Amino acid sequence: MKRTTLRLGSQAQAATRIAEQWGLEGQATALRLALRVVAQDCPAAAIPGNLHAAVGRAVPYALDAVDLAAAQTIATAYGLTGVSAACRVALYLVATRGLTLRNPITTEV
Amino acid sequence: MAKSQSFTASPARRSTAARITSVGWFLVLLGAGLLALVLLGGGKWLLSQLPAAPTATPTPTAPPTGAAPTATPTLTPTAAFPATWAAGMYQDANGQWWPAEDVREQVQQMVEQHYLKCDAIFYSGPLAEILPDISDNTVQQCWGVAMQGAILNLRQQMQQGLYQLDATKAGTVISSRSIAVQNFSQDGLTCQLGDTHLAGQYWVYTPQTQAFETQDIPVDGLINGQQQLGVKIVQMHYDQEDGRWKIEQFVQWIPRP
């Protein structure tokens, strides 16, 4: 795990809401889940301009290599600069579209 | 005896009209006129005493035949348990569809209850023991049409010994979970349910005893390197004939980070 300082701005509240809605253990888990979910598909979406700018206070989060790779994937897909912007976009997409971004693809018993 | 010369035979008897004098005619006509006045006045008085005749109610005029096309009566099949919330679906600012505010929570609870009821049946024991004994009725109640065939087929294979579940994938019993229901379709008949697995037990097959036993899922959720805690997302569909939300498709498993 790597200690990473992020500026999530208003998306920090989105992380809290996601955590409450999905029964996750706090903001950090919601953020990490959002990064992984969005990185899977990077759905076509219009990203609000204010998510590009780093705003708000810097808060440290513990992210592992998978989280950081997911952030890199998101940054590349949406033309973002930095891990913070990728985290904001990931939280924005999950907050507005739900944790499920994929279409049903398979079956499970 | 001879007849007297002074006797003259009377002329033939005159009619009554001929015998009435002009004065008599005057009196007859006067009487008839008075009688007519009395009769007319009495008639009007009598009519005024009768109850008023009912007012004619305007009746709809039937359209002229062939003037407008007549609607052909269509037989709309009425669902046994219609989705009453479907008419009130609305879209939020993010484009997500939801049942109307006053019934939204109720619908979400309905989805959750039906899902959990089926989950309790299918995961009440190791899948290797539960599946072969599951009834057709239970499968039909819990799963959408698309999934029913696959499950019944798997059940048949297990009953015939053609397929055996990996003992390490015997299943889990989730004791702590959080359910989220969202992503409704516009018609309100489909949605997605997220089942966040927070804690539970998993079934372990013990060769020595040849039986399954439960063990707690570790705090980190890892069993043999596989994450057992996370979010399972399924697509639910409301069956208006059964009045049940059924699992239509598995969407994805998001392991907890």
Contact: B127, A104; criterion CB under 8 Å = no
Contact: A98, B96; criterion CB under 8 Å = yes
A2 in contact with chain B, both atoms CB, cutoff 8 A = no
What ipTM was estimated for this complex? Answer: 0.81
User: Which phi and psi (to 5°) does residue B109 adopt?
Assistant: -65, -35
Exposure of A20 by Cβ count < 10 A (0-12 exposed, 13-18 middle, 19+ buried)? middle
Q: How confident is the model at residue B223 (pLDDT cuts 50, 70, 90)?
A: confident
Predicted confidence (pLDDT) per residue in B100-149, tens digit: 999 999 999 999 999 999 999 888 888 888 888 999 999 999 999 988 99
B252 in contact with chain A, both atoms CB, cutoff 8 A = yes
Distance from CA of A70 to the nearest CA of B (A): 12
Predicted confidence (pLDDT) per residue in B194-213, tens digit: 999 999 998 888 888 888 88
Distance, CA of A18 to CA of A23 (rounded, Å): 8
Q: What is the pTM of this model?
A: 0.72
Residues of chain B found within 8 Å of residue A103, distances taken between Cβ atoms: 251
Rg (CA), chain B: 49
Which residue in the set A66, A67, A104 is minimally distant from B251, CB to CB? A104
- DSSP class of residue B167? G
Task: Note which residues in 38-67 of chain B have CB less than 8 A from chain A.
Answer: none
